[in-house]
Amino acid sequence: MVNITHKNSTLRKALAEAVLSVSSQDTIDAIVNNKVPKGNVFEMSKTAGLFAAKKTSDMIPDCHPLPIEYTSIQFEIRDLDIYITSEIHTIYKTGLEVEAMHSASVVALTMYDMLKPIDKNIEIRNIRLIEKKGGKSDIKDSGEGIDASVIVCSDSIFAGKKEDKAGKAIISSLEKNNVKTNDYVIIPDEVLEIQNKIKSDIENGIDLIMITGGTGLSKRDVTPEAVRPLLDREIPGIAEAIRSYGQLRTPYSMLSRSLAGMIGDTLIIALPGSTKGAEESMDAIFPGILHIYKILNGGKH
C-alpha cells in the first residue's frame, strides 16, 4: 500500500452513486409494497452496503483500513431506475471514494440478487463517484508569488564539520508548494547573527523566513530567544501543530521549542535542526500555512 504516514488526518467525505434498472413497473411496485419473496429490498441492501463500506480494505488490496464514522445510503426511484447513493465520512489521512463506490455497488448487487427471481432483465450501471472532500486537494492556497529565505542555524555546519540536510529538505518542500527560495544561508548559533539576518531579509521584502536549528535544549540552542523579541505577533497554533504532528512519530517532539509569528507581513517559522524533524514539520503545516498570505491580502477564513 502507499505510505500515508506523513499525511495529516482531516475530515474527509465521499458521495458515490449506482443505478439499478428494472424491466417493468411490476418490479418497482413489488419493491415499494414489500412484496419481494426474499424480503425488504431497501433494508436488506442498505445493510449490505453498510457492511461493504467497512470491509472495503478486505476486498481492495491497496485500500487502507480506516475508521468509517458516518454512512448514509439513500434510494430514489425514477421511472424504472433506482438511484442509489452512499455517503461516507471519516477523519483520517486518506480519502474514501473507493469505500463509497464499493458500498453503492454492493447495495446494487444485493438488490439484483433479491430481485432476479421476479425480473430477469435487471441491469446495474453508472457506478461513479459524485463528490469527494477533504485532504490537500481541498486547500486552494498557493505559494505562487511568495519569496522565502532559508536560514540554517548550526555551529557545526557553519564550521564545515557537518553537511546541511535539513535546510535543503525545507527548500525541497517549499518548491513542491510553489514557494520560491530567494536566499539560503548557514550561520552559527548566535543571537545577534540570527536577528541581523532576519532584519536583513525583512528589509529585502522576503515574505517567508524559514529557520532550522537551535530550537532544542542544549546551551547553544538560542533560536527562540533570538526570534521571539522581534515578533509583532506570535502564532502559537503553528508550533502546536508541528509538535502535535511530531509527537505521533517520536516521543521527543515535545522537547522542541519551535515557534512562529509575524514581523509586519513577514512570516517567521523556526523548525528543528534534524533532517527528519524539519521534513515532518513541513509536512505538518504545508500547504495550510499559505492561507496566511490570503488573509494578509484582505481575504477571509
Does the active-site annotation cover 119?
A: no
pLDDT digits (tens, 9 = 90+) for 41-99: 999 999 999 999 999 999 999 999 999 999 999 999 999 999 999 999 999 999 999 99
> Which amino acid type is present at position 59?
M
CA 110 from centroid of its chain's CA atoms: 34
> Of the residues 26, 62, 81, 113, which is catalytic?
113
pLDDT digits (tens, 9 = 90+) for 280-301: 999 999 999 999 998 887 755 5
Left (φ > 0), alpha (ψ -120 to 50) or beta: where does 30 sit? alpha
- Digit-by-digit pLDDT tens for the chain (301 residues) are 899 988 888 899 999 999 999 999 999 999 999 999 999 999 999 999 999 999 999 999 999 999 999 999 999 999 999 999 999 999 999 999 999 999 999 999 999 999 999 999 999 999 999 999 987 766 677 889 999 999 999 999 999 999 999 999 999 999 999 999 999 999 999 999 999 999 999 999 999 999 999 999 999 999 999 999 999 999 999 999 999 999 999 999 999 999 999 999 999 999 999 999 999 999 999 999 999 998 887 755 5
What's the pTM?
0.78
Q: How far apart are CA 49 and CA 182, in angstroms?
A: 53
DSSP designation for 214: -
Label residue 226 exposed, middle or buried (CB < 10 Å: 0-12, 13-18, 19+): buried
The residues, any chain, with a CB within 8 Å of residue 1's CB and separated by 6 or more, are 61, 62, 63, 64
